[in-house]
Amino acid sequence: MFTTETIKPRAVFDFHIHLMGEKRIDAEFLAFARDWNMPFAVSCLGPEGHMIANPTINECRRCNDLVIDLMEKHPDLAYGFCYVSQEHEHLAVEEVRRCVRNGMVGIKLWVAAKCSDERTFPIAEEAIISNVPILQHSYLRWKEILPGESKPVDIVQLAKRYPKLNMIMAHMAFRWKEGVDTVKECPNIYVDTSGFDPELGSVEYAVENLGVDHVLYGSDAPGRDPVCQLGRVMAADISAGDREKILHINAKKLLGLAGGAA
Amino acid sequence: MIIDFNAHYGREIGTTAGCGVEELSRIEKSAGVDKIIASAFGGESNNQPFPGNMIRFIPIDPAFDKDQLDLEPFIKGIRIYPTYHPWDFDSPAMADLLSLAREKSSIIQVYLRLQDPRAMPPAVPSATVIEALDSIIPVNSDIRFVISGATYLEIAANPAPFRYNNAWIEISHVQHPINSLPKLLDIIDSSRVLYGSGAPVLYPYVGIFRILNSPISQDIQERILTRNAIDLLGGI
């Protein structure tokens, strides 16, 4: 029989967490993160318990204020990503500046518009100036249901236009082989392992095709159970050193945090 | 001993390439699994030689012919996939299935999903099948049912069919939300919960890792990984 002492990872940084704006759920995740001593990158996509695909600028500000508050209360754990929508154009850029001034370390784009949309360009330029990455939601579906949902090809377009911009393709785009194959030509694109079932071979495929330095552990908690998502990385047939990089070193390096040197 | 109650061999399981019997055995061994409950999928032959660490269940669909079915090599269990192969639960085929299971003391394992529905879309909603099970399971109390592929949210929405004394839950798809396993154990008795991996679609070690790292007692961990399955199978 295994024992928990032998299989629990030494250190973890979760690159894909959502603050839900609902006290009970957020407290449950915080207790988990505290128990695992696990810092995390966090964004809020809706201030009242549900995610908003096309938020108003005021809703974005309320979301980001919740994250700033969380960062102030838990500075050892919470690393904020600023939620903005391309629909707000210059106001989105101003919101990024405000959030970075308040200590946020990244930008989260969801499904308001594809990231290849030209309204993303000023946000990308601000990300480069502020030296923060963009975490872009991406899901390759068989049936398209969200017109603003970015596909890997959209991420490639933006990454090629701005080679100094660091982008993270969330969820390995769900259809992970196609997602990885599409973005592997761009050295400024990373992937996170969050938000899809722990399919056999998914981590190994990303490591083989992108290089281990471009793979980040993420869970998509609290919607997903982070223990199951962590299990994906723990299960992968990779070296111990590569596992450490995926679990925390790569994230810290990308965000310029202590512990980011291999 | 760790017993995986949910594995398959064969080609093209959903969007997964699948694998043969020997490869499945290797994958499971490397994850620490000692015994595998496995069946064919995707047109693979049911009758190929099995390694000693596997127990065969037989997969059937509604077109099966009771008189043509040689159940002896698979006597421990029968698997059906009613979200993918629609069953009329009042049909003669279902009556035949129940009568076979009763006659041979075979377990019936009912699958709600093998893969994320966005990758492997069902023909029948899982909630519809769960409702049907709520009619079938209690009136067949002498037959043991294992329900596979349910999510925590599906179980919480309609827990009745999962709570009968002749029902067990295999937990490969209980992966939402945070703390999903302790939440499941709040509504389902731990003696009814089985570890299953979903291999080769999913990593077999994920389920082991989550059981050993969830805030549950060691006794319950061992029940889910081993003892409940042994009790259900009547020994190994």
* Residues of chain B found within 8 Å of residue A174, distances taken between Cβ atoms: 118-119
Which tokens belong to B196?
């299953």
pLDDT the model gives residue A253: 98
Is A5 a residue whose pLDDT tops 60?
no
Domain count, chain A: 1
- Chain B residue with Cα closest to A144: B118
The residue written with tokens 């059981």 in the block is B211
pLDDT the model gives residue A6: 57
**What Rg do the C-alpha atoms of chain B give, in angstroms?**
16
Selected residue of B210, B214, B217, B226 to mutate for chain A interface (largest A Cβ count, 10 A): B210
In a domain, A262, yes or no: no
Residue A216 to residue B221: CA distance in whole angstroms: 29
The amino acid that residue B193 corresponds to is V
> CA of A97, closest CA in chain B: separation in Å?
32
Residue B88 to residue A80: CA distance in whole angstroms: 51
- Whether the CB-CB separation of B173 and B150 falls below 8 Å is answered with yes
Q: Does the beta carbon of A144 lie under 8 angstroms from any beta carbon of chain B?
A: no
A215-216 and B54-56 as β-strands: parallel, antiparallel, unpaired?
Answer: unpaired
pLDDT-derived band at B101 (thresholds 50, 70, 90) equals very high
Phi, psi for residue B56 in degrees, rounded to 5: -85, 130
Q: What H or E segment, with its residue span, contains residue B167?
A: strand B167-170
Question: Averaged over B201-220, what is the pLDDT?
Answer: 97
DSSP string, chain A: ---HHHHS-S---EEEEE--S-HHHHHHHHHHHHHHT--EEEE-S-TTSS--SS--HHHHHHHHHHHHHHHHH-TTTEEEEEE--GGGTHHHHHHHHHHHHTT--EEEE-SSS-TTSGGGHHHHHHHHHHT--EEE-----SS---TTPPPHHHHHHHHHH-TT--EEEGGGGSSHHHHHHHHTT-TTEEEE--SS--BTTHHHHHHHHH-GGGEE----BTTS-HHHHHHHHHHSS--HHHHHIIIIIHHHHHHT-TT---
Is B204 a residue whose pLDDT tops 80?
yes
In a domain, A205, yes or no: yes
Question: Averaged over A187-200, what is the pLDDT?
Answer: 97
> CA of A161, closest CA in chain B: separation in Å?
31
Listed range (A58-62, A140-144, B53-57, B85-89) with the worst mean pLDDT: A140-144
Which tokens belong to A177?
């082989």
Phi, psi for residue A136 in degrees, rounded to 5: -110, 120
CA distances from A236 to B31, B133, B205 (A): 10, 36, 9
> What CATH number is attached to the domain comprising A226?
3.20.20.140
Q: Does the beta carbon of A198 lie under 8 angstroms from any beta carbon of chain B?
A: yes
* Residues of chain A found within 8 Å of residue B156, distances taken between Cβ atoms: none
A215-216 and A189-192 as β-strands: parallel, antiparallel, unpaired?
Answer: parallel
pLDDT the model gives residue A262: 47
pLDDT the model gives residue A261: 64
Nearest CB to B178 within list A29, A174, A196: A29
pLDDT the model gives residue B65: 84
Is A195 a residue whose pLDDT tops 80?
yes
Q: Which domain holds residue A234?
A: 4-255
Query: Of A245, A230, A239, A242, nearest to A8 (Cα)?
Result: A230
The total of other beta-carbon atoms located within 10 Å of residue B226's CB is: 19
Would the CB atoms of B118 and A199 count as touching at under 8 Å? no
B3-13 and B16-19 as β-strands: parallel, antiparallel, unpaired?
Answer: antiparallel
Residue A133 to residue A152: CA distance in whole angstroms: 16
Would the CB atoms of B30 and A196 count as touching at under 8 Å? no
Would the CB atoms of A8 and B213 count as touching at under 8 Å? yes
Is B70 a residue whose pLDDT tops 50?
yes
> CA of B151, closest CA in chain A: separation in Å?
11
Would the CB atoms of B178 and A222 count as touching at under 8 Å? yes
In a domain, A260, yes or no: no
In a domain, A75, yes or no: yes
In a domain, A261, yes or no: no
Which tokens belong to A9?
């990872």
Would the CB atoms of A225 and B200 count as touching at under 8 Å? no
Residue A216 to residue A236: CA distance in whole angstroms: 13
The structure's pTM equals 0.95
* Residues of chain A found within 8 Å of residue B207, distances taken between Cβ atoms: 231
End-to-end CA distance of chain B: 10
B35-41 and B58-59 as β-strands: parallel, antiparallel, unpaired?
Answer: unpaired
In a domain, A128, yes or no: yes
The total of other beta-carbon atoms located within 10 Å of residue B48's CB is: 12
Selected residue of B118, B171, B184, B201 to mutate for chain A interface (largest A Cβ count, 10 A): B118
pLDDT the model gives residue B41: 85
Half-sphere exposure of B113 (CA within 13 A, CB side): 24
CA A166 from centre of chain? 12
Phi, psi for residue B14 in degrees, rounded to 5: 60, -130
In a domain, A96, yes or no: yes
Over residues B163-193, the pLDDT tens digits come to: 999 999 999 999 999 999 999 999 999 999 9
> CA of A93, closest CA in chain B: separation in Å?
33
Selected residue of A140, A194, A225 to mutate for chain B interface (largest B Cβ count, 10 A): A225
DSSP B115: S
Residue A107 to residue A86: CA distance in whole angstroms: 12
In a domain, A217, yes or no: yes
